[in-house]
Structure 1
């Protein structure tokens, strides 16, 4: 693959990633689905009850790659059930998915040669992320939580969903705010949040704390739940008051 450009390799790996994640999602036991949904307050007692595809994607991301509640990972079940040929492109992408890590990233913007320039938050290490839809509705400087897989050392791909965040979420993570049970009011990430974000991680101890959280278990679930409680993932069935729900257009 060394003679192929990053764009060509991404085009090759992206459908493999999608297929493997889809197949692995079918191997999540119901008990695990329930555990992930409960952690995100998206379980109604019988089934997952998301308001949109992003919330459902977060449930499956945890079940496939990073489950809470002591459940095993569905990606490992997929690897055992349908092991790809060693050294094949499928094997390369599968290994990347199994090693994928969730973290915080600031997006800088799309590059002319392809990919998205970004930096890891808070340490500022640069990287290029390949995702055809990541910059949609996001301005340069936006903070996201995303899981990245590296099928090649120089090629980072998203896997799972990417969540828009802001300084409110980072502050809660640093303070260790417990999951909330109260009403969820839908909210967009704060615009022009640079100064607030930088102030939160100005001290070395704060940067170290955030890096330790990201390196520890359950960080993705922690970020998803924080975003949900702040309304950054939209209305939550059963938690969002009726008057705060999106209004459906009436008959013409």
Structure 2
């Protein structure tokens, strides 16, 4: 790729490839794997995936394609074997970046003047510019999100499709090893002005170390998605949200 292109222009080219690669890979998720990922997020009705919106579906596909629970293989690896791109191409770089992309927690700092969004790893990470057209939409500076980040080029970190809004309640449950819930899901917006609560939760070095260890362990994305779902941060859930609230949603 030409070094003369701006980061915004390069992102635009990679974003189109990302959409094509992830869509193709999602079609290679075996039904058994799809069912296990959806069951883990309580988005399976016994016969089929039953999400209430596109973000819930994106979370299921994120797991099936890049980070499946259980012993299932990754659909991104199946995609690479089935449609190997030419070495050195943009698609080749992006496919390799997606294959090693890591899920983490990120604090939004605000829009970057050249495009993208300034963010920092939570807790206590270095700032970077994440490229995503929608990352700062309806998210004020200080907002916490969970996202998987790929680096097709060293200076171009970009999201991998699923981005979930979080707050201090999620972090508290992660730190307390709160088990997955089975009760009603009441749709909820992230807590506003949450900075002080987040700071208190990670004030102790032990808490920061625990979050770091969780993020490096297998299944962290699924853990975060499920916690957000239980708290209603990913919207209503068929079968768990009271019918009258589901109808309103």
Q: Normalised by the shorter chain, which TM-score bucket?
A: over 0.9
Residue 159 of structure 1 aligns to a residue whose secondary structure is strand
- 2:130 aligns with 129
Q: How many angstroms does 1:155 deviate by? A: 0.8
Residue 195 (1) aligns with residue 207 (2): no
Q: How many angstroms does 1:246 deviate by? A: 4.5
RMSD (Å) for aligned C-alpha atoms: 1.0
Q: How many angstroms does 1:2 deviate by? A: 2.7
- 1:150 aligns with 151
Residues 150-194 of structure 1 show CA distances to partners (whole Å, capped at 9, x for unaligned) of: 001111110021100000000000111111111111111000000
Which TM-score applies when normalising by structure 2? 0.97
Residue 235 (1) aligns with residue 244 (2): no
Give the aligned length. Answer: 248
| Alpha-carbon separation, structure 2, partners of 1:210 and 1:91 | 32
- 2:71 aligns with 70
- 1:21 aligns with 22
Residues 29-60 of structure 1 show CA distances to partners (whole Å, capped at 9, x for unaligned) of: 00010000000000000000011111011101
| Alpha-carbon separation, structure 2, partners of 1:170 and 1:103 | 12
- 2:248 aligns with 247
- 2:5 aligns with 4
Residue 106 of structure 1 aligns to a residue whose secondary structure is strand
Residue 84 (1) aligns with residue 85 (2): yes
| Alpha-carbon separation, structure 2, partners of 1:208 and 1:247 | 41
Indicate if the aligned counterparts of 2:238 and 2:246 stay in contact, CA closer than 8 A: no
Task: Show the 5 A alignment for 1:212-231.
Answer: 212-231=213-232
| Alpha-carbon separation, structure 1, partners of 2:45 and 2:142 | 36
Q: How many angstroms does 1:124 deviate by? A: 2.8
| Alpha-carbon separation, structure 1, partners of 2:202 and 2:99 | 30
Q: Which runs of 5+ in 1 are unaligned?
A: none
| Alpha-carbon separation, structure 1, partners of 2:145 and 2:62 | 15
Q: How many angstroms does 1:69 deviate by? A: 1.4
- 1:204 aligns with 205
| Alpha-carbon separation, structure 1, partners of 2:245 and 2:23 | 33
Which TM-score applies when normalising by structure 1? 0.96
Indicate if the aligned counterparts of 2:44 and 2:50 stay in contact, CA closer than 8 A: yes
Residues 49-89 of structure 1 show CA distances to partners (whole Å, capped at 9, x for unaligned) of: 01111101110110000000111000000000010111111
| Alpha-carbon separation, structure 2, partners of 1:213 and 1:53 | 26
Task: Show the 5 A alignment for 1:104-183.
Answer: 104-183=105-184
